[in-house]
Structures are given as structure tokens and as C-alpha cells.
């Protein structure tokens, strides 16, 4: 709950963000996956919240959990594992169980990056999502589309600042290579295009060295909600302002607390987000076996043994996010970078699935839905 007086200095706020940011180096490595699915009823509508919550009522057999996103997307999150192969194995086991649950409940789960069949509609009602929807609607309709009509594959991986840097560098090439959200306008990744059309202060890539770049990013983004200590929910801020302005001047609800700041960090959505690990958020949802391939490729490219080669493989494409979303592998620069990345990943993993995806999609310059 915000305070009636200022309780948090700027230096204290900077320390809090830095402590929740990525360590400079790491002595260990683990990887976890989050797979989102669009959900449909038999008549192609959205399942009720009660139905979706029944899918999330108990943990999955390998220890993963199920959550519901605002538009009824269903997300399976795996516990972290020591290797990409182990993360894939436990996630696949959990997803198989989730699909059986969904089928028993009359729900179809579809692994595609964007819903082009239904208008956006929220199923989950909470202060967080109401505040986001109202804020984004005042800008354009991209935020509502993102909240309700998109699904992603998220890779969470340990790493220090060098791996953080490389995770950004490969982003456009990976968006192009694994694009799986077609739109009416021939957009390759409608989902990524939606992110780029939203409030860029909340969705653009973080640039510059950590932790300062992340602190500046967080301080510049408007704060949308405050924490409510009474029920653990939140309170919408009547006139959202940059967090630093709220910190220094206060607002209608008072001054932010440390809890307000930490919650604010969860409402920032760059393509790569720093926590105590790296959240890679730029991949479209993919069906099996292609989400497994994407996991292996990204993990291979971020391995400490090949970061120099990875950096060279994508040289000149590091900022081509919009081109990747719009044109995918039709862009010759991104196609060349994808070729290089897959050659590295195939040499590193020797995986038949990586070779298969390379032959079917990357070499033919077509998106994953083709």
C-alpha cells in the first residue's frame, strides 16, 4: 500500500532494482521453460474462467504449474533443470498431462503465436489486467491484442551480463527463424509486431550495461498499479506517471513503497527481461517438436563456449526487430544470420530435430506455420 509520506529514496529504489537484476556473472546454469497456448471451446469460443482454473488446480506431474493469462491463454511453466535436454523432457511430460486435462474439460490448446480468429476479450478479471487494459487502450489496440490474443515460448536461463548481451543480439534472427503468428497482412510474427506497436517505454529492448540500464528503464516507465496490503491485490493508479516521478513527487495514492516498486518491475515487458536469471520473451508459441528445437537452438547459441561465434553469426542484425516481425526470413540479412545460427547450433547439439527444422523452414525461407 502506498505511504502518505515518502519512505523510499531514489538511492534505495536503485538498490532494490539492482538486487533483483541479473548478477554480473554466474557459477551455475539452469534452464526453465514457459509454454503458452491459445485455448478454444468446441465452438471456437473462449473457455470460462472456471474451466481454465480447473486446469490449474493441481501441479503437473513433473512439478510444473499451470496459470491462466488474461485472454484465456493457458501457460505451463516447468521447474528449472540443469540442461536444455532435461528441461525439454520434463516440460514435454507436463504438457502431455496438461493436454489430457484440457481434452477432458472440452478445451483445445493451440500452440500458435497470435489468435487471428477471435476479437480480443479478457477472461481473467483482476486489478492488474484492468489497469493494463485501460492504459493500453488509450494508446492503441495493440496492448489489448497482446494481452488476450498472443501466446509465446519463454526460455528462462541463468547467466551473467555477457549471456544477457548475446540473448539480445540473437533476438531478431530467432524471431525471424521461429515466426509462427501469421496475420491478415502477411506479417511473419504478428505477436512481436504487437509488442512493437505498444508503449515502447514498457516493451522496447533494454539497451546499455546492467544494472543501470534496467534501473533507468524501470524508472522511466509509467507505474500503473500500487500494491494493496489488505488483500495482496492492487489498486489502479488514477493518472499513471513515470515511476521516478511518482517516487519523487507522490501522487493521488501517496508515495510508492518497496513493494510497489517490485510489483512495477513485473509490469515491464522487454523482449529480454533481467531477473536473477534471463527471461527470453521474444519467441512465438510453437507446436511440438518445434518448441523443443527452439529451446535447443537458443541454449546452444548462449553457451559460453560459442558466444564469440554467436556474436559474429548475427552481426548487423541486432536491431532488426521490426524487420524480423514483418518480413521474417524474406529479409536477406536475417536469413543469413539464421543460417549461421543454425549451423552453430547443429554443430553444437548434433540434434536431428534442429537439422529437420533447418531443412524444412530456414533453408526454404518460410515461417513455422508454412
Cα distances (Å, whole numbers) of residue 107 to 5, 225, 289, 308: 49, 32, 21, 45
pLDDT at site 3: 82
Find the domain containing 253 and state its range. 10-24+210-265
- One domain, residues 216 and 251: yes
DSSP per-residue letters across 282-303: EEEP--TTHHHHHHHHHHHHTS
Domain end point (choices 242, 265, 288):
265
- How many CB atoms within 10 Å of residue 19? 11
Closest by CA position to 196, among listed 240, 146, 256, 157: 146
- One domain, residues 76 and 94: yes
| 116 lies in some domain | yes
| 312 lies in some domain | yes
pLDDT at site 25: 79
- One domain, residues 296 and 182: yes
Residue pair 36/151 in contact by the 8 Å Cβ criterion: yes
Number of structural domains found in the chain: 2
- One domain, residues 126 and 250: no
| 369 lies in some domain | no
- One domain, residues 14 and 41: no
pLDDT at site 104: 96
3-state helix, strand, coil in the chain (%, to 5): 45, 15, 40
Q: List the CATH number of the domain containing 79.
A: 3.30.590.20
| 367 lies in some domain | no
| 3 lies in some domain | no
Q: Do the bridges between strand 272-274 and strand 108-110 make them parallel or antiparallel, or are there none, so unpaired? A: unpaired
pLDDT at site 47: 97
DSSP per-residue letters across 152-178: EEEEEE---HHHHHHHHHTHHHHHHHT
- One domain, residues 124 and 159: yes
Cα distances (Å, whole numbers) of residue 112 to 38, 116, 188, 209, 284: 7, 10, 12, 33, 7
pLDDT at site 129: 93
Closest by CA position to 368, among listed 223, 218, 178: 178
- One domain, residues 20 and 63: no
Residue 106 in grid coordinates: 472440452
- One domain, residues 329 and 244: no
SS3 category, 108: strand
pLDDT at site 240: 92
- One domain, residues 125 and 180: yes
Q: Do the bridges between strand 152-157 and strand 31-40 make them parallel or antiparallel, or are there none, so unpaired? A: antiparallel
- One domain, residues 292 and 251: no
Non-local CB neighbours of 270 within 8 Å, separated by 6+ positions: 203, 204, 205, 206, 217, 281
Residue 101 in grid coordinates: 486435462
Residue pair 47/56 in contact by the 8 Å Cβ criterion: no
| 370 lies in some domain | no
What's the alpha-carbon Rg for the chain, to the nearest Å?
20
Partners of 156 in the β-ladder: 32, 279
| 4 lies in some domain | no
Non-local CB neighbours of 186 within 8 Å, separated by 6+ positions: none
| 287 lies in some domain | yes
How far apart are the C-alpha atoms of 176 and 258, rounded to whole Å?
A: 39
Q: Which residues of the chain have pLDDT under 70?
A: 1, 27, 229-232
pTM above 0.75, yes or no: yes
pLDDT at site 228: 78
DSSP character for 67?
A: E
- One domain, residues 321 and 351: yes
How far apart are the C-alpha atoms of 302 and 310, rounded to whole Å?
A: 8
How far apart are the C-alpha atoms of 196 and 33, rounded to whole Å?
A: 23
pLDDT at site 212: 96
pLDDT at site 279: 98
- One domain, residues 185 and 259: no
Amino acid at each position: 500500500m502506498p505511504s502518505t509520506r515518502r519512505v523510499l529514496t531514489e538511492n534505495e529504489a536503485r538498490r532494490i532494482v539492482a538486487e533483483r537484476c541479473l548478477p554480473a556473472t554466474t557459477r551455475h546454469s539452469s534452464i526453465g521453460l514457459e509454454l503458452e497456448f491459445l485455448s478454444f471451446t468446441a465452438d471456437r469460443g473462449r473457455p470460462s474462467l472456471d474451466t481454465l482454473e480447473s486446469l490449474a488446480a493441481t501441479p503437473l506431474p513433473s512439478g510444473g504449474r499451470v496459470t491462466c493469462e488474461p485472454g484465456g491463454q493457458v501457460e505451463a511453466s516447468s521447474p528449472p533443470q540443469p540442461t536444455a535436454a532435461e528441461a525439454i523432457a520434463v516440460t514435454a511430460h507436463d504438457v502431455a498431462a496438461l493436454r489430457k486435462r484440457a481434452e477432458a474439460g472440452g478445451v483445445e490448446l493451440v500452440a500458435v503465436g497470435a489468435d487471428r480468429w477471435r476479437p480480443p476479450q479478457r477472461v481473467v478479471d483482476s486489478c492488474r489486467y484492468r489497469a493494463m487494459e485501460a492504459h493500453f487502450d488509450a494508446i492503441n489496440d495493440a496492448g489489448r491484442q497482446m494481452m488476450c490474443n498472443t501466446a509465446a515460448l519463454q526460455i528462462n536461463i541463468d547467466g551473467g551480463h555477457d549471456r544477457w548481451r548475446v540473448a539480445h543480439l540473437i533476438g531478431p534472427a530467432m524471431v525471424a527463424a521461429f515466426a509462427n503468428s501469421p496475420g491478415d497482412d502477411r506479417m511473419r510474427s504478428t505477436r512481436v509486431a504487437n509488442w512493437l506497436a505498444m508503449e515502447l517505454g514498457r516493451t522496447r529492448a533494454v539497451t546499455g550495461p546492467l544494472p543501470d540500464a534496467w534501473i533507468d528503464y524501470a524508472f522511466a516507465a509509467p507505474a500503473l498499479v500500487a500494491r494493496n496490503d489488505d488483500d495482496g491485490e492492487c489498486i489502479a493508479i488514477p493518472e499513471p506517471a513515470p515511476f521516478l516521478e511518482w517516487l519523487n513527487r507522490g501522487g493521488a495514492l501517496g508515495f510508492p513503497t518497496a513493494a510497489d516498486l517490485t510489483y512495477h518491475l513485473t509490469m515491464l515487458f522487454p523482449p529480454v527481461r533481467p531477473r536473477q536469471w534471463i527471461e527470453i520473451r521474444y519467441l512465438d508459441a510453437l507446436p511440438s517438436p518445434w518448441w523443443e528445437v527452439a529451446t535447443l537452438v537458443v541454449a546452444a547459441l548462449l553457451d559460453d563456449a560459442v558466444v564469440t561465434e554467436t556474436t559474429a553469426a548475427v552481426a548487423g542484425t541486432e536491431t532488426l526487430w521490426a524487420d524480423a516481425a514483418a518480413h521474417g526470413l524474406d529479409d536477406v540479412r536475417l536469413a543469413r544470420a539464421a543460417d549461421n545460427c543454425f549451423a552453430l547450433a547443429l554443430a553444437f547439439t548434433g540434434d536431428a530435430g534442429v537439422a529437420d527444422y533447418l531443412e524444412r523452414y530456414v533453408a526454404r525461407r518460410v515461417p513455422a506455420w508454412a
